[in-house]
Every structure is written in C-alpha cells, then in structure tokens.
Structure 1
C-alpha cells in the first residue's frame, strides 16, 4: 500500500477490516445466543437461559456467549495462543461436521419426500433449483475435508497428540453422542417411507403465510424484484 503513495489508504483498509470484524462478531453473537436460548426453551440447556428482557432479548444467553468470546484473549500469550489454536481447530472441525450432517439430513429428507410421493416443488415454499445436486456436492466435499483438514499432523516429524485430538476429536465426540442418544433413548432408524413429515407442519405453514402476507403488503422495488428472481 505504501507503493501506491496514498497516505490515507492504510487507514481506510484498517477501518474496513475493523468494521467487518465487528459485523461478523455481532452476527455470531446473535446466532449463538438465540440458538442457546432455543435449546433452553426445548429443555436441552439450563433453565436460567430462558430468561429475556421486555424487548425479547435473551440477555442471559448473550452474557454467556460474550464470556466465551473472551477466550480470544488467549492469543496474547505464547503458550495460551497454542491452546487457542487447538480450540479454533476443534471449532473448524465441528463446523465441517455440522455442514456435512446438514447436507446428509437434507438428502434423507429429499429421499423421504420421494418415497412418500411428495413433490418438493409443491411441498416447499422456496425449493432450490440446484437441489439435490448441491446437497450431494456439499456432503462429499464436507466429508472429505473433515478427514483431511488436519493432515499435516501425519507428516513425518509433525505428530502431535493434542493437535490430533482437537482436529479429529469432534468425529468421535459427535458420533458417540449421536449413537449414544439413539441407544439410550431407544429411538429407531426410520426408513424413508416412514419418516414423519407432518408433525408441526401447521405451525410452519401459518408462519410462511404470515410472511407472505407481509410481503404482499410491501411494494417491490427494482432491486427487490431482481433479488426475488435470483433467490
């Protein structure tokens, strides 16, 4: 940037980066706090996380998420930075696992609709034009990268037990939790023709109709029409 001889350019880039970081942090804080609140409402997280203020903000969940974000300060120390790197590797592997499972879930969902004679273009309010190919594409690459994302630990002289655990531990942990739940709760593995596609459908149909009514009341401008065509 110095070669461009624009003195203010570094400050502009720094401001843009800080804005992007703040935006990403704000988005992840919102998503994490609402997901945690939903788990609490479903009885899968402590009851105190159900609390919210008069504006509907789950403040206890926001506090918990903000406290967890303080782990970023581990980067300030050389030894603690290594621990932070392990945590980041674990979170990266967990994200890959999450997207792989979501892709597989959609594939099974699509198979269930086919087995039960349901046309997804009619059944779903916004069917994707690139499905089911996108789901298979995401599942295949997610599965591959889930196993190769920590490949460097297998190179000669690079073995590190802690790195291996944090890179690949999520596979054993999540797989064990999933199978353990199925075993202890005695929940069956359903065939495509037996998958329940009707429970709580009325709620989602009412929610979809509500948003459709809201959209009908608002006139679309040129930009909104283009976005509606694309998405």
Structure 2
C-alpha cells in the first residue's frame, strides 16, 4: 500500500490512499481542510500548532467512565433534596423522569453525529455545517458562556470546605481550586482523562453505596428499624404544590443532568470513536435510571418533604440529602464522608467544565467565529488560550463569593441551567437537519456507524420540551405580580444566545446552508479507519474484551 499526501495550506489538504487491487477504482480520496479562514497568514509556529491540534488521548475506559460519572456533581448531591422539598417525592420523581427521558433522546441524536463526524467542538460545529453559521456562532458562544458553571462548582466547593473549619474566605478557596484545574487542563487530555476516570469512579461508588444504605433505611434493616416504605408519600404527601410544584423543578432537575453531552465533545479526542462513543451513549440510559431516578426515588422514601434540612440553602454536606440518609442509618461520620465526596465531585465537574469550554472556544476559532489564536494548542495538545480565556469567567466566582457563596450558587445555577437547555435544544434541532441533508444527498442510513433510535421522535421531543421549559420556567416572575429581579434571574441565560445570533445575522448576513450543500465528508470517519478499529479490537487479549463487556 502506498500513500500520497498533498497539502494545500490555503484551504485544504487532500489525502489519496491507493489500495491496489483491494479497491475497484484503485484509490480513494478523502478530503479535509484547515478550519481557519486565514490560515496562510499565520507564522510557522502557529501553523504547526493548528495542524497538530488536539490529540486522541482518551481511551475506551476513559470515555466509558466519563460518560457514567462525569456529570455527577452539585446538581445531584446538593440540589436534589431541595427539589423534593419544592415538588414532593412524587413530583420530583416525575420531573427527573421527564428530564431523564429528554436527555436520553438528545444524547442518541448527539451520538449519531459525533460518531459519524468526531470533531472537537462538536454540536456548535455541526450547527455551522448543517444549519446556519449564525446558529453555530450563537450556540458555541452560549455553550462557552456556560463556563460560568465553573463558578457554580467552585462557589459550592468553597462553601463545602469551610463547613469543616473556616480558615480562609470562600474567595481564597475558589481561587486555589481554579488554579489547580487550570494546571490540569494545560497538561493535556491524557491527564484530564485519567483524573476523571478515578474521580468518576469515586462518585459512582458513593452513589451505589448510598442506594444500598437507603434501601436498608426504608426497609427498617438499619437505623431505628422502622419500616418506612411509602409512609412519607401519604403524610406529608406525594406532591407539594401539585402540578405547579412539579413543573417548577424541571429546570433545576435539568441542571443535575448537565454535562451529559460531554461524551460528544470528547469524540474529537477519543481513540476509536466509532466504537467508544456508541458504547458510552448506550450507558446513558442506565446511568439516568440508576444514578438519578433511583436516587431521587429513595431520597423521597427516606426523608419527608417537610424536613427543614432539604430546603436549607446553605449548600453544605450537613444538609445534603445524602447525609440525611446516612444519619438515619446511624452513620454519624456520614457528613464528613459526604463532604469529602461532594468536594471531589464539584472539583471534577469544574474540571470537566473547563475542558469542554476550552474545546468549544477552539472550535469557534477554527470556524472563524473567534480570534484565530484561540485555536492554538501546546505540545500536549491542549488549547492553552482556550483554557486561559475560559477560566477568566470562572474568576467571577472569586469576586461573587466575597459577597455570598450560597447566593452565588443560586444565581449561577439559574444561568447555567438555561444555557444548558439551549445547548440541548441546539443538539436536537441540528440533528434534524443532519438527517434531512444526509437523506437528501442520497446517502444510506445503513452506512451510519451509529443510528439514533426512534427518529424523528427523539430530536423533535427533546427540542420541543427544551423550548417549553426555557420559556415557561420563569412564570413566577409574572405571578402574582411582575418582578424585575425574578425576570432577570430566570431569563438572563437567554441573553448570550440571542445577542450573538442577532449580531451575527446583522453583521455577517449569513444564510441557511442548503441541504444539498451540507458537508458530510470533511473530518468523517472513513471505512479504512473503521476496519482498522475492528482489527484492533479483534487483536486485543481476552481479558480486555471481558473488561469491556463488563463496562
């Protein structure tokens, strides 16, 4: 086999791989291009950085574990109890079931696109390709703006660590933790993947231990040996506030699931993405059931919705619903254990937030939607400018925490929840265009490495529900009388997306990409790569195959 590689610096490079007799026409052309509009104006060092780009340093075990535990953080550990206090055990369970099903729907959509086109930056890049550059621009900056989630996590971390002993102000702890995660993200994806692997494992184990203990508590096997069962569903009741209470926690429940989409974003740096990404997507369903639905159900069984600790907004481990269940089981050191677990969880979530936002900024630069130097990577394959700029927004938590870390957490939660739902809507909407363009160009659905189940129901359901939640979650700002403060608190997350879209349309005057012109070839996984991945799997030792099956 011989290979001929021709590189045209201005627009694209073309790779021709000659197969000899193995192909009917003797060769196969695979085209790709540098995603920077003025690539030729860069210095030689800048060109080398862009050409090397990120590295595929995430193995199958990294992707699997990140998909399982990467999004478990403050939303589940600190916010789940308050949702039960607001909506009741049945109301909260219904809210988590609805959001969980929606997350599953848009994740299968994400999986189809990310497996076919495993690129860094993921869904905002897909929006530029398959819908409109204005949508890609606004989705990308909206998702980058969600890096304020870093502030959410670090504000929570500062509150949590001072629960032990307030030796330093919240702002000081926030700054220290931010410096640590910046250093991790500067080294490269390998260290990030390894850290997230072990941190995710810790989070998964604590959730599984909690589930076992909660079952023992509600069955009367431990604690005061009282069989609780559905006692608290009868008194004080399964619902609080009826349907209004259930609807009011949908946005907050969605915050607990945010970060799930990281599987699609890591596809550009995953080894064997056609194999690892679909496997990770398939675990999403079971993660939703076990880590969220079962957990929220058991909390509602063990702790009454009227327990004042559930609605306590201090945001520390002493009032976390997990801690309350441990205390019911007679485990008095539960608060310290949960405190340590929550601390590692929120730092893990902040680490993932910085990773995703830096990659999003890099993708924006490569699409010409951000300053070109943002696309540069260091020798480890880390987009260091993306890390630096993304972390600047995280420093907001340092200043806000000076006022109140708990208040900061509430505001940041509202902002990031809305921006997260916008991103999920974008994934679903873009997938509809992806499929329509794919079929319009005469391509076969059977050739897709991974196919979204129940299409077109899945993207339509997810996109519609996202819009309804985004627009309807701020109803309290209008009733019983209009409140300016509540209005901005509920809808401030819409501002980045709306402003970016309108400005791009006014300045660039972009148009919707015709279905016939959508690019399905640049960056796609080729048949040769799939065959190579299959061959690599066949040659793996038996014990690796067993471990993969178990995972």
TM-score where L is the length of structure 2? 0.36
Corresponding position of 1:201:
521
> What displacement does 1:29 show?
1.1
1:216 corresponds to which of 515, 532, 535? 535
Distance 2:533 2:478 in 1: 55
Distance 2:344 2:389 in 1: 23
Corresponding position of 1:142:
466
Residue ranges of structure 1 left out of the alignment (5+ in a row) = none
| Superposed counterparts of 1:17-166, under 5 Å | 17-73=342-398, 74-78=400-404, 85-122=410-447, 124-157=448-481, 159-166=482-489
Q: Residues 49 and 2 from structure 1, CA distance in 2 versus in 1: closer, same or farther, beyond 3 angstroms?
A: same
3-state SS, counterpart of residue 6 of structure 1: coil
Which range moved further: 10-19 or 209-218? Answer: 209-218
Larger radius of gyration: 2
> What displacement does 1:57 show?
1.8
Corresponding position of 2:333:
8
Q: Residues 202 and 107 from structure 1, CA distance in 2 versus in 1: closer, same or farther, beyond 3 angstroms?
A: closer
Which range moved further: 9-18 or 216-225? Answer: 216-225
Maintained 8 Å contact 1:33/1:61: yes
Q: Residues 112 and 47 from structure 1, CA distance in 2 versus in 1: closer, same or farther, beyond 3 angstroms?
A: closer
1:181-224: per-residue Cα shift (whole Å, max 9, x none)?
34543433355xx4423x36053134x74365245313251342
Maintained 8 Å contact 1:106/1:135: yes
Distance 2:369 2:522 in 1: 24
3-state SS, counterpart of residue 99 of structure 1: helix
Distance 2:459 2:522 in 1: 26
Maintained 8 Å contact 1:94/1:170: yes
3-state SS, counterpart of residue 203 of structure 1: coil
Maintained 8 Å contact 1:112/1:195: yes
Which range moved further: 63-72 or 18-27? Answer: 63-72
Q: Residues 61 and 165 from structure 1, CA distance in 2 versus in 1: closer, same or farther, beyond 3 angstroms?
A: same
Residue ranges of structure 2 left out of the alignment (5+ in a row) = 1-325
Distance 1:22 1:30 in 2: 12
TM-score where L is the length of structure 1? 0.77
> What displacement does 1:47 show?
3.9
> What displacement does 1:26 show?
1.2
Q: Residues 7 and 59 from structure 1, CA distance in 2 versus in 1: closer, same or farther, beyond 3 angstroms?
A: same
> What displacement does 1:179 show?
4.6
> What is the count of residue pairs matched by the alignment?
220
1:142-195: per-residue Cα shift (whole Å, max 9, x none)?
1110111212111214x332432353355465345335434543433355xx44
> What displacement does 1:76 show?
4.2
> What displacement does 1:125 show?
1.6
Higher helix proportion (structure 1 or 2)? 1
Distance 2:328 2:408 in 1: 38
3-state SS, counterpart of residue 10 of structure 1: helix
Maintained 8 Å contact 2:428/2:463: yes
Distance 2:492 2:344 in 1: 34
Maintained 8 Å contact 1:71/1:84: no
Maintained 8 Å contact 2:397/2:408: no
Q: Residues 171 and 27 from structure 1, CA distance in 2 versus in 1: closer, same or farther, beyond 3 angstroms?
A: closer
Distance 1:188 1:130 in 2: 30
Distance 1:170 1:139 in 2: 17
Distance 2:328 2:498 in 1: 52
